[in-house]
Chains A and B, each alone.
Chain A
Amino acid sequence: MSLRRVIASGVRSLFQRKREERELDEELRGFLEMAVGEKMKEGMSRKEAARAVRLERGSVGGAKESVREAGWEHLLETCWQDIRFGARMLRKNPGFTAVVVLTLALGIGANTAVFSVVNGVLLKPLPYRDPGRLLMLWESSLQGGTLGTVAPANFYDWREQSRSFEKMAAIDPYPDFIMNGVSEARRLAGAAVSQDFFSLLGTHMTAGRDFLPEEDRPGSNHVIILSYSTWQSYFGGRSDVVGKRLTLNNDAYTVVGVLPRDFSFVGKASDYHSRNHFDVWTPLALPHPPQAWQRGTHPLCIFAQLKPGVSLQQAQTDLNQVASNLQRLYPADDKERGITAVPLAEHVVADARVALFTLLATVGMVLLIACANIANLMLTRGATRQKEIAVRIALGASRARLARQLLTESVVLAGAGGVLGLAFVYLTVPTLVRHLPSDLPRAAEISVDWRVLLFTCALSMFTGVMFGVVPLHQSRRVSGNDSLKQGGWSVASDHSRLRSGLIVGQVAIALILLTGAGLMAKSLWKLMQVSAGFETEHVLTARLSLPPQYTNDYKFGTGQHRQISLFQRELLERVRQIPGVKSVAFTAYLPLSGTDNSWAFYIEGRPANPPGVYDVADYRPVSADYFETIGIPILRGRAFLPSDTEDNPLVVIINRAMEQIWWKQQDPVGQRVRFGDDDWRTIVGVVGDVHHEGLDVKPEPEMYVPYGQVPNVEARPTIVLRTSIEPESVTSALRQAVSEIDPNVPMDHAETMKEIVYGSVSQSRFRTAMLIIFALLAVFVASVGLYGVLSYSVSERTREFGIRMAIGASRGAILGSVLSKAVRLIVIGICLGLLGALLLTRLIASLLYGISPFDVITLASVSTLLAIVGLVASYMPARRAMRVDPVVALRYE
């Protein structure tokens, strides 16, 4: 039997209902008529025969009913009846319907909005071909297990020696390009990729072509691929851009291709020097075979595509084999080095997962509280509907049929809420996306797609059933007779237990959310209390991009170096003249900017480390007044002087963390260190620590070298200004000074230090803000629920209060009796909530900074807050009870 035919004929009969009815009618009549005829032949009268046939064979109506109920389409029909009936009932109670639909719209809308973020970031497959087979490969230290970017020579070796991968590609996210020949010099964020990078991702160019293998070689790599947005903004989307020659960094490049509009580079910004978008792409063009120095520098991120059928496990085993080969072949570089494969999707979103699921759980709990409120409303309304239900039972409606009808009503309500909620989602998602923390990966992929719509549908159904079950439970207890006999009041009192249970649940969930929000807020506050190690007030920073004539072919002690120094000296001199500027300096790597560099170093007179083990510290070239300008304290020795140039002895300044690791017993000032092939440098001072990576990351050992003596030249220095006036107000003067000295030097990222510090905690700020909003919403909804239930119980007990007052109860006693009920509910709710919080907040421990998830002060203060709000909500109905006029109350009914 084919299911398709069953469905098709069912659907057909739905639409041809009338004709089918008629035919069935005719056929049945004929059938019974023939039976009657037979009986009459046996000698019965027509009347007798008809009676006998009806007894033996059944009636036309009965048979039709059986036939109708047998097909599946019957279910649809009655369902449609229920929906229409439900809608009619809801139209009759516009106030009730509006409250419920609006509550649900907000609840479902908020859930869907958060889900759309979770969907875009965590659930959607990556926008590449066969994303499940994409991995990232990292160098890992055998001891600490920390992952790091990859040396070019290792990339070659991995690609040649591994067996598990279809393709392996590398990306160097560092190169920047200054585009000349446009009105103002612009810096383009560039990435250099190996030739098969785009084919690995399955990306096809929207215009032009991918890189050719021969272009991925030094000397023939002056070709670029444009991002779609670069193509649009600089070339107006013209198709003749392919083949066009551009001048970048004073060199000629040919455009060979344009990436499609929907190409998005999925990456963790922290892997790519805080960037998650690239304007132009060039071939990596590494020398082949790899040269020795390419084992000591580690700039690359590696993408790999598994061969079909190869598991991550197998690939990792394969890579371990490769790693042990390399450890043997190149002990100096690779002795302590392993290789770790991580699925691309996992790597990119792992950090965001806990926070996003916490948000989703939070907003889900808000919806649960709202459901409880609606269930309570339904109960109140159900009390008045008991008669209707009793009549239906008396007329022979089965309980299953009745349950279906009541549930349909709830689902209709929830459906209306869902539709309205979706409108809310379409309005809010763009705003939400704008306010997401900038370092959240895949934010560009957030949209309302079919998964989101499906979620809304499922959620609406789910909520409908959630709050629909409660009145259902109530209808179970209605027996036809009792309800019809009763006068219509006092029936609902046996549900007061259920109501109280719902309130306790609401209070408990609200407390859990408040605890979460409280913990987040307190840990954000603690984070903001962390001293960054530098001054945040009155400091302006901006990033400059130096054209290659300032950095190319750098040789220590040549004229090139003097030229860059000249540019910098001239700029510093000019900026110092700007009114309101107190001091100014350069640094290569600004704290909290996401840029960093580290070097291995040797201490004079210390025994050599075993092969493969290095002493490493962060490397910070800065100009003379840097410490004073940014406000890092000099703890010992001296700061850099303008005279610290290559003509004078080489010097270095270390930070406290470095001192504490390597100079526990002796004073480092006067000692000498060396990095790479550089000459020995004398330590002339010790400065305070800064939180370079983030306020929640502990300071790393750092060594500062003076700009006048740097062994490599940073093409993207940051200029730092200390001002006596509002730092933003000197931005334009700074920009003007730069362009007056060299119009080909673009300046961007002009931010105050305060903004940078603020931006560095944006993820934490975002989730704290969201959690607080949802928790307050939960408290509000729960207290509305508490208010509603108490009001109802007060109105129910009006007669009781009247009698009690008539026989001498004081108003205070009445107030007390209502409040004591409220207090009982609140206290039980808070106790359960505390239990729940103790169980659940452990899950967000990784999001907290500086406090334990069982922080007593937080737990105590949120409990108190909730208790106070609860009491305020209960006071109003309690006061009404107190004001009951005994005469009026007793006369009532």
Chain B
Amino acid sequence: MTDKPSDLVQGTLDMLILKTLALEPMHGYGISVRIEQMSKGVFHLNAGSLFVAFQRLQRAGLIKGEWKATDKNRRARYYSLTEQGRKRLESETREWGRQVAAIARILEAS
């Protein structure tokens, strides 16, 4: 692991967002902090790519957003998983596991 935050593997950001939201509805900043924490600082997200991903996921009907007050009494948009999003997360997780295992086997073989 390098010290500098890594770029995400293409296409995995959506999956990470879905995973994060699987626990509870969260606002944008919360999501980014959670992903950074869980990755122990490996991933660092800028606002642009994060919000493009939100828009994409909303349009696909995988997450939905709702304005609510935060614990510090600010207004923020909370995202939550839809039923479809939950299903997608399951299938993506399974697929990811398969691929990682396969890649690992290839790398270890040599």
Once the chains bind, are A32 and B59 in contact (CB under 8 Å)? no
Residues of chain B contacted by A57 (CB below 8 angstroms): 45-47
Q: Which of A513-546 contact B (CB under 8 A)?
A: none
Q: Which residue of A lies closest to B56 (CB)?
A: A70
Contacts A26-B75, A56-B44, A57-B47; is A66 near B52 (CB within 8 Å)? Answer: yes
Q: What CA separation (Å) do A32 and B28 show in the bound complex?
A: 10
Q: Which residue from B48, B60, B75, B77 sits with its C-beta under 8 Å from A67?
A: B48
Closest CB in chain B relative to A883 CB, distance in Å: 64
A59–B27 Cα gap in the complex (Å)?
18
Residues of A within 8 A of B28 (CB): 27, 30-31
Are A24 and B27 in contact, CB atoms less than 8 angstroms apart?
no
| Residue from B50, B51, B61, B62 within 8 A of A24 (CB atoms) | B51
**Nearest Cβ distance between residue B11 and chain A, in whole angstroms?**
13
**A62 in complex: contacting residue of B48, B60, B62, B77, CB < 8 Å:** B48
B16 at the binding interface (Cβ < 8 Å):
no
| Distance to closest chain B CB from A571 (angstroms) | 86
A461-494 contact mask (Cβ, 8 Å, vs B): 1 or 0: 0000000000000000000000000000000000
- Chain A residue numbers with a CB within 8 Å of B75 are 26, 30
Q: Which of A23-44 contact B (CB under 8 A)?
A: 23-24, 26-28, 30-35, 38
Using Cβ atoms and an 8 Å threshold, which residues of chain A touch B45?
A: 57
Report if A63 contacts B (CB, 8 A).
Answer: yes
Q: Are A63 and B44 interface neighbours, CB within 8 A?
A: no
Return A276 CB to nearest CB of chain B, in Å: 57
Q: Are B59 and A9 in contact (CB under 8 A)?
A: yes
B48 x A6 contact (CB < 8 A): no
In the complex the two chains form, is B27's CB within 8 Å of A71's CB?
A: no
Which residue of B has the minimal Cβ distance to A6? B59
The docked-state distance in angstroms from the alpha carbon of A30 to that of B78 is: 12
A27 lies within 8 A of B76 (CB)? yes
Residue of A nearest to B58 (CB): A9
B96 in the interface, Cβ–Cβ < 8 Å?
Answer: no
In the complex, A5 has a CB within 8 A of chain B: yes
CB neighbours (8 Å) of A9 from chain B are 58-59
A6 touches B60 (CB 8 A): yes
Task: Say yes or no for A431: interface residue by CB 8 A criterion.
Answer: no
- Give Cα A70–Cα B28 distance, bound, in whole angstroms: 18
B47 x A1 contact (CB < 8 A): no
Interface residues on B, range: 20 to 34
Answer whether A5 and B46 are a contact pair too, CB < 8 Å, given A27-B28, A30-B76, A34-B29. no
Q: Is the CB of A1 within 8 A of B61?
A: yes
Contacting residues, chain A, for B58 (C-beta < 8 A) = 9
Please give, as numbers and ranges, the residues of chain B lying within 8 Å of A56 by CB-CB distance: 44, 46
Complex Cα spacing A66 to B46, Å: 11
Residues of B within 8 Å of A28, CB to CB, are 47, 51
Q: How far is the CA of A34 from the CA of B47 in the complex (A)?
A: 12
Size of chain A's interface in residues, with CB distance under 8 A?
A: 30
With both chains docked as a complex, state the minimum distance between the C-beta of B28 and any C-beta of chain A, in angstroms: 5
The answer to whether B46 touches A1, judged by C-beta atoms less than 8 angstroms apart, is no
Q: Could you say which residues of chain A place their CB within 8 Å of the CB of B56? A: 70
1/0 per residue, CB under 8 A from B, across A485-505: the answer is 000000000000000000000
Q: Write the nearest CB–CB distance from B96 to chain A, whole angstroms.
A: 18
Known: A1-B60, A35-B29, A58-B46. A30 touches B52 (CB 8 A): no
Q: Residue A633 at the B interface, CB < 8 A?
A: no
Instruction: Judge whether A2 is part of the interface by a CB distance below 8 angstroms.
Output: yes
B74 at the interface (CB under 8 A from A): yes
Task: Please give the distance in Å from A884's CB to the nearest CB on chain B.
Answer: 61
B55 within 8 A of partner (CB) = yes
- Which positions 13-42 of chain B face chain A at CB distance < 8 Å? 27-29, 32-33
| Contacting pair B76 A70 (CB below 8 A) | no
Segment 733-762 of A: residues with Cβ below 8 Å from B? none
Q: Which of B33, B46, B74 contacts A63 (CB 8 A)?
A: B46
Query: Quick check: is B49 within 8 A (CB to CB) of the other chain?
Result: yes
Q: Compute how far the CA of A415 lies from the CA of B52 in the bound complex, rounded to whole angstroms.
A: 35
Q: CA of A27 to CA of B81 in the docked complex: distance in angstroms?
A: 18
Taken together as a complex, chains A and B put the C-alpha atoms of A38 and B32 apart, in Å, by 13
In angstroms, Cα B46 to Cα A534, docked, is: 94
- The smallest C-beta distance from A172 to any residue of chain B, in angstroms, reads 66
Chain B residues whose C-beta falls within 8 Å of the C-beta of A66 in the assembled complex: 48-49, 51-52
Residue-wise interface mask of A (48-75) relative to B, using a CB-CB cutoff of 8 A (1 in contact, 0 not): 0000000011111011011100110000
A67 B29 Cβ-Cβ under 8 A? no
Chain B residue at minimal CB-CB distance from A32: B47
Chain B's closest residue to A69 (CB) is B52
Closest approach, in angstroms, between the C-beta of B70 and any C-beta of chain A?
Answer: 8
Question: What are the 6 A-B residue pairs with the smallest beta carbon separation, nearest first?
Answer: A66-B48, A63-B47, A34-B29, A1-B60, A63-B48, A58-B46
What 15 new A-B contacts, CB under 8 Å, besides A31-B47, A58-B46? A1-B60, A1-B61, A1-B62, A5-B60, A5-B61, A6-B59, A24-B51, A27-B51, A28-B47, A30-B27, A56-B44, A63-B46, A63-B50, A67-B48, A70-B56
29 pairs, A vs B, C-beta closer than 8 Å: A1-B60, A1-B61, A5-B60, A9-B59, A26-B75, A27-B76, A27-B77, A28-B47, A30-B27, A30-B28, A30-B29, A30-B75, A31-B28, A33-B74, A35-B29, A57-B47, A58-B46, A58-B48, A62-B47, A63-B46, A63-B47, A63-B51, A65-B48, A66-B48, A66-B52, A67-B52, A70-B52, A70-B56, A71-B59
